[in-house]
Structure 1
């Protein structure tokens, strides 16, 4: 198992892209799948049950029973084997298996001995993660229990699909509300102008005692007023909202994005004693923007920066919003190994090769490629500045 390519599914980029399409916020999903995790542990009769999703570098534990874990380097996991094909994976004795016997979670607490994992497969066939049960003692699953666990795994995917559809619906509703707001603003100006002209003409008509002309202008005036009142009524649904109401579930502010990126990737940095900070500009507090794909974009770039930064190095993320164009500017700067001009050309043309991180992290070669693809999908741009052994600075521009 020394050949790392053997642990990468043939369709790894498409698999990672599918996971990114679910646009999962790993800081918020906890609790939504816990009933299924508890059910899996009960069915299997094991003290531990986890639901894990695997991105390009990290295994994210989105639901757990019996083991307090949130994220694990992908190369350290058992679930990386589960996503290789559609079959379940059973390891009867981890202490005797060459792949796992020296892992920290086998040698030390919690002393995992037994593992059974079912791939979490999307409706179009992509394995985005695994639902697993584990025991610290010998264990045996009957065929009936295995069948039950597969049914539960299917329900996990159904829930994830359901959450995605809700997000898409919220996004559509938000777009409709934005169109409604813009239309309201657009009709205010012309109608207001018509009313103004009608009032001027009415004043002139009064002086000439043109009674019929005045009646016609009065009708124009009243009609314009009624439409303008309607626009005001529509707009009032926005003007009267509190700040809390305005921030919908699929929206962020710079402050919230900062906290999420800090909380999600601080453990990876601490694991290598890297000084990791996320800083924001002070000029745009409260300005909201869609969450869509941002956590996946920045997450992949930050994980890469941490991966290629040696111990006691630093990674800093700067977030800002550029006006009047309303662009989110993200700068990820590290003190890592850096790149040559040729290496930059290779990865920008999607020809980059997987390399090992400074802490011997396994390179799967898809993190940057996925981030670049997602940035382009939202009409953003990406710039890399780097020198060998002098670190890297990546600037991302995303229109809001």
Structure 2
């Protein structure tokens, strides 16, 4: 048996396959009908839409075959994606590449195979539309052409489905933005207006202490508005592809100090102590702008849920080829049922120490940005004195 060599653009080909978001998805009626039509036109009992993954061929649609996938080294289709035209094997028993293939010597007893490459708009083959028979045979010119046309239709359907998914995500993100504007921005804006109105109308009769309280209220609400706007801008830029990553080996302690200074008003307002204990010579492979955005968002969240006069501590753990930045606070902690999904887009944040509820954009943004750095982010489930967030980045 001769397994097919990798495609000469294998990395790009696999990336293109992942782009279509089709692997391991549910059956699709339209694609099943195209597969059935291929089997009918070519007069074969078996027809498949086969996608060639890293180590397997996975069947998006199948007629006459129960299996959902087979190892890539056995796949006829792995040979077919190396061809520009329909790849045909008239009799597998007489072909030195396939005569001892388990798919030939055992079920499904392949004798005849013909596969038309599924070539995407970027010119890369992700799999085939293939027909199989247990008897040796040939396709005529018309059948080959029909198989090619149906393969084009399969690609068209995959692209349509991807675009539909994107539209659904856009609608979801639009709803998220309106939710932020409607709640996270309206609420603190209302507070700013209320505090400012009282200061304007009653400043002549207020005690210095009461005036200070109202001024702190304006400051706190305005700071909340600014932080939400900052999150919203970062989140939107990431969604529309304007956040580009340029990872280099960089010292991280100065970037963390800069992020702490950026949030200084928030620390002062709640009298929170923030301590950066990371040594000055520690470096990670990160994009500086993205790294600081991640740290700012995690720190802002820690401020939000920390008590008055609380403490936030930033430390570091070096592991094999990776480093872990650890940010822990003394706040409310993370509910047990949210530990595994805190950074998901669907999670709504819990009330902070002032009773306000946000939409959680900052945390889902962090997860996306960490992923652009080939990193991981999670909550330490063993820490019970507040919340401990761990963020892993490559060191080289």
> What range is the shorter-chain TM-score in?
0.5 to 0.7
User: Cα deviation per residue 1:159-210 (whole Å; 9 max; x = unaligned)?
Assistant: 01111111222222222222212222112211233135546866899xxxxx
Residue 177 and residue 66 in structure 1: after superposition, are their counterparts in 2 closer, same or farther (change >3 A)?
Answer: same
Quote the offset at 1:69 in angstroms: 1.4
RMSD of aligned Cα (Å): 3.6
2:193 — aligned with what? Answer: 194
Measure, in 2, the Cα distance between the counterparts of 1:289 and 1:93. Answer: 51
- TM-score scaled by length of structure 1: 0.52
The equivalent position to 1:179 in structure 2, one of 148, 171, 177, is 177
- Which of the two has higher C-alpha Rg? 2
Structure 2 residue runs without a partner (length 5+): 205-335, 347-360, 378-389
In the alignment of these two chains, the number of paired residues is 237
- 1:314-393 matches, cutoff 5 A: 325=363, 378-381=372-375
Match of 2:166 in 1: 168
Q: Residue 49 of structure 1 is aligned with which of 47, 50, 53?
A: 47
CA distance in 1, matches of 2:365, 2:164: 26
Q: SS where residue 137 of structure 2 aligns?
A: coil
Aligned twin of 2:87: 89
Go from structure 1 to structure 2 and tell me whether the alpha carbon gap of 1:133 and 1:397 turns closer, same or farther (over 3 Å shift): farther
Question: Closer, same or farther in 2 for the Cα pair 1:375/1:50, shift >3 Å?
Answer: farther
The answer to whether structure 1 residue 33 and structure 2 residue 37 are counterparts is: no
Larger RCO: 1 or 2 (CA < 8 Å, sep 6+): 1
Alignment partner, residue 220 of structure 1: none
Listed as ranges, the matches of 1:98-117 within 5 Å are 98-117=96-115
The Cα of 1:23 is off from its aligned counterpart by 2.0
Q: Report if aligned partners of 1:327, 1:397 keep a CA contact under 8 Å in 2.
A: no
Alpha-carbon separation, structure 1, partners of 2:191 and 2:165: 37
Cα distance, 1:28 vs. partner?
2.3
Query: Match for 2:59 among 61, 66, 70?
Result: 61
Q: How do 1:209-224 residues align onto structure 2 when only pairs under 5 Å count? A: none
Give the whole-Å Cα distance in 1 for the aligned partners of 2:30 and 2:82: 26
Q: For 1:274-294, what per-residue CA distance to the aligned partner results, in whole angstroms no more than 9, with x for missing partners?
A: xxxxxxx85447768369xxx
Summarize the Cα distance change of 1:151–1:324 in structure 2 as closer, same or farther, 3 Å threshold.
closer
- Taking structure 2 as the reference length, what is the TM-score of the superposition? 0.52
Instruction: Give the match's secondary structure for 2:14.
Output: helix
Q: Which runs of 5+ in 1 are unaligned?
A: 206-280, 292-322, 330-373, 384-394
Shift of 1:27: 3.4
